[in-house]
């Protein structure tokens, strides 16, 4: 299994209504300081309907980038019941830790 597949498989563990951070996901697959690499992998996600890359946010709580735009990512998260205020996740308790 290559790194991308490992990352996508791990991301499938994040339930609807929760998010994880780029750094948490990197650690979960054994990457030290791999948050930028995780961002690049998320950007190239060939299965966005199946692998919920919109559930990966910045460690600061900011929604962060998305291949189809931050507004679409924010809307997708809101539809899952995630509250966002001023571009940030409004409830730090919803961050999924592996």
Q: Is 89 exposed, middle or buried (0-12, 13-18, 19+ CB in 10 A)?
A: buried
Q: Is 27 exposed, middle or buried (0-12, 13-18, 19+ CB in 10 A)?
A: middle
pLDDT, residue 49, reads 81
**All domains of the chain, ordered by start, with CATH?**
3-93 (1.10.10.10)
What are the pLDDT digits (tens) for 34-72? Answer: 999 999 999 999 988 899 999 999 999 999 999 889 999
Q: Which residues of 31-68 are buried (b: 16+ CB within 10 A; e: fewer)?
A: beebbebbbebbeebeeeeebbbbbbbbeebebbebee
Does pTM top 0.85 for this prediction? Answer: yes
Q: Which positions are annotated as active-site residues?
A: 53
**Distances from the Cα of 36 to the Cαs of 42, 76, 93, in angstroms?**
10, 22, 23
């Amino acid at each position: 299994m290559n790194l991308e597949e490992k990352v996508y498989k791990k991301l499938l563990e994040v339930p609807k209504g929760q998010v994880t951070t780029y750094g948490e996901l990197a650690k979960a697959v054994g990457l030290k300081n791999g948050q930028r690499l995780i961002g690049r992998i998320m950007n190239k996600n060939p299965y966005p309907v199946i692998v919920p890359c919109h559930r990966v946010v910045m460690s600061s709580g900011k929604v962060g980038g998305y291949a189809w735009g931050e507004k679409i990512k924010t809307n997708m998260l809101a539809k899952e019941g995630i509250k966002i205020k001023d571009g940030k996740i409004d409830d730090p308790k919803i961050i999924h830790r592996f």
